[in-house]
A and B are shown apart, each in its own frame.
Chain A
């Protein structure tokens, strides 16, 4: 799960990690009020969307006067922000973070994530802050420092010292940066984060460290043990169909193609998408109904696929294991009774209770084509879209 910068900063503040003074605004009037309360020499107005590259996309404005805060807020709010991560259609901005402008003498990068190869958290810092870390990793990897953290001990003092010296900072920074890094690691571990990123982490004029930006992603598998994080979810950041799917425990991701797919198992679902493409069509979605799907989930999944107006054909590819083919068939019939299936339907069933599943579909009077093998399925899909 992703959250907004201002929400991440609130978590930082609770854990004693210094952040700039500021507040969240949902309107230009609120933005102005926050700025008035700050009484600073300058202000930063930052669009709050779940996407990186906001600065380059024009979603971060540095201004000097209160009236400029209001103008900047009006300019950003309610309009789509296009960044490298949003796609060409952009993301509508509904929230702003208004902060005091901070003077600093150096920008650093700090990130903590889980290194899959090491099977451990890894803390990454770089003296080249404020720019895309992926870019630095690609062009100047020597500027990136890493320490693998033993999860049983947490981030150790000597590791922080390694980073201080690696960054070329004065020895005096050991005393201020060590607790800063350890607090950020504390947040990472305490909330089961998959990513905590501060870019830039700045060194202020009086040698303090300050999180000028903040990004936190949580491990979806651990959300159940952090019920307090639930309210940080911003439904506006999620695709409506994806959200609907989430309510039914379905893994659905909307894509831009014309062939809808319903599959059990994530790997087979991805492979089915690839197969659709190989057959000359484009997948409209990823949909994994999982192993434990019941009739209701199948029905919901089917309706969600049909809810996408771009869909011109639907391929159901089920390799029955835990999910039985007869359950799948009944779910499809249940959906067909309540919605109009206006596109060609291709069904490929294999595995547990396959005969029963095929019989249910055959006797239903539903108009569909049967594919015996996965290759047949691809061929039928391609033909359906072309005609």
Chain B
């Protein structure tokens, strides 16, 4: 099984007529995702990769029965796109867009509270349940159906870990990139809870990085509520304080957000934290297998 998305998920792509939107809609279709429609205001009636385009999310939901949306809308309009999806009753919203203003996301979070929609991202690679549904920009081929759940704040670092898991002979139930921004939708805790309840996930890999306290919060939750084994990697042990390391959320400020503190918190909660990224796959195999 998997969490959040599977072979029944009906996906629309917001921004499907754009360069990124059309390219990745095609990759998702190739992977076998049920992409049932796209949205670009004013372009109703067109087709992209054989998929019908609608003027609004509400229209797309009405005509296709979509329940998930993948967003490739440019940063100034992305917050609005998320709210449009939520208002139309979409339950799983994945926002790939990087560079959304923080105060826009702050408002989006307030609005989402009332709708019950799950937001993944923004500034993330998306979500994939291998063999069933790929909603995002990750290379599908490195994944393989299996029992390891993966949650990460990063993109390519996730690919690295997933690739190692696959090469070690294991596979993944669902992999989620939760995004590198300070304000994001679903966080480690939300997803750990879902994986703990998913009968087909045997172990969870948490890939964190410097900045904020999401890993510490995850540690607290794991200590109290998670029985499945959790393995972790935290990037940024060598990052200097006060500098934004690419991701808007990856900054050590005022003595919080340091990698050492996160590793310590996770280890205290019984999580196995791997220091050497190169042995991640083999470690997971020996620990779980």
A interface residue numbers (CB < 8 A to B)? 85, 114, 116-117, 119-121, 134, 137-138, 150-152, 189, 192, 194, 219-222, 224-225, 251, 253, 255, 263-271, 273-278, 282-283, 286, 288, 291, 319-322, 350-352, 373-375, 378
Contact A121 B106 (CB under 8 A): yes
Q: DSSP class of B's interface residues: helix, strand, loop or mixed?
A: loop
Judge whether A120 and B106 touch: CB under 8 Å: yes
CB distance from A241 to the nearest CB of B (A): 14
Chain B positions 127-159 with a Cβ under 8 Å from a chain A Cβ: 137-139, 142, 152-159
Please list the residues of chain B having a beta carbon within 8 angstroms of any beta carbon in chain A. Answer: 75-76, 99-107, 109-110, 125, 137-139, 142, 152-160, 163, 180, 182-183, 207, 209-210, 212-214, 217, 233, 235-240, 242-250, 254-255, 275-279
Cβ of B238 and Cβ of A351 under 8 Å apart?
A: no
Complex Cα–Cα for A219 and B106 (A): 13
24 chain-A/chain-B pairs, Cβ below 8 angstroms: A116-B213, A120-B110, A121-B103, A189-B103, A194-B102, A224-B76, A255-B240, A263-B156, A265-B155, A265-B156, A267-B247, A270-B157, A270-B238, A270-B250, A271-B277, A274-B235, A275-B278, A278-B275, A278-B276, A288-B245, A319-B159, A319-B163, A321-B138, A321-B159
B160 touches A374 (CB 8 A): yes
Closest chain A CB from B133 CB (angstroms): 18
Question: CB-CB < 8 A to A265: which residues of B?
Answer: 154-157, 246
Chain A residues with Cβ below 8 Å from B154 are 265-268
A248 to chain B, nearest CB (A): 14
Residue from A134, A221, A270 in contact with B236 in the complex, judged by beta carbons closer than 8 Å: A270
A121: shortest Cβ distance to chain B, in Å?
A: 7
Q: Cβ of B106 and Cβ of A275 under 8 Å apart? A: no
Q: Assess A269 versus B237: contact at CB under 8 Å? Given A119-B106, A219-B102.
A: no
Tell me whether A151 and B246 are in contact (CB under 8 A). Answer: no
Contact B212 A321, beta carbon cutoff 8 Å? no
**Does A321 lie within 8 Å of B239, measured CB to CB?**
no
Q: State whether A225 touches B76 (Cβ < 8 A).
A: yes
Asked if residues A117 and B237 are in contact (CB atoms below 8 Å), the reply is no
Q: Is the CB of A251 within 8 A of B278?
A: no
B142/A114 in contact, CB under 8 A: no
The 6 closest A-B CB pairs, nearest first, are A267-B154, A266-B246, A265-B156, A375-B278, A267-B157, A222-B101
Considering only CB atoms, which chain A residue lies closest to B282 in the complex?
A375
Q: B211 to nearest A CB, angstroms?
A: 8
17 more CB-based (< 8 A) A-B contacts, given A251-B246, A267-B154, A274-B235: A114-B102, A120-B110, A134-B254, A151-B107, A152-B107, A222-B103, A224-B75, A265-B155, A265-B157, A267-B158, A267-B250, A268-B159, A269-B246, A270-B209, A270-B235, A277-B237, A288-B246
A375→B163 CA distance, assembly (Å): 14
B155 & A271 in contact (Cβ 8 Å cutoff): no
Assuming the contacts A225-B76, A374-B277, asked whether A274 and B236 have C-beta atoms less than 8 A apart, the reply is yes
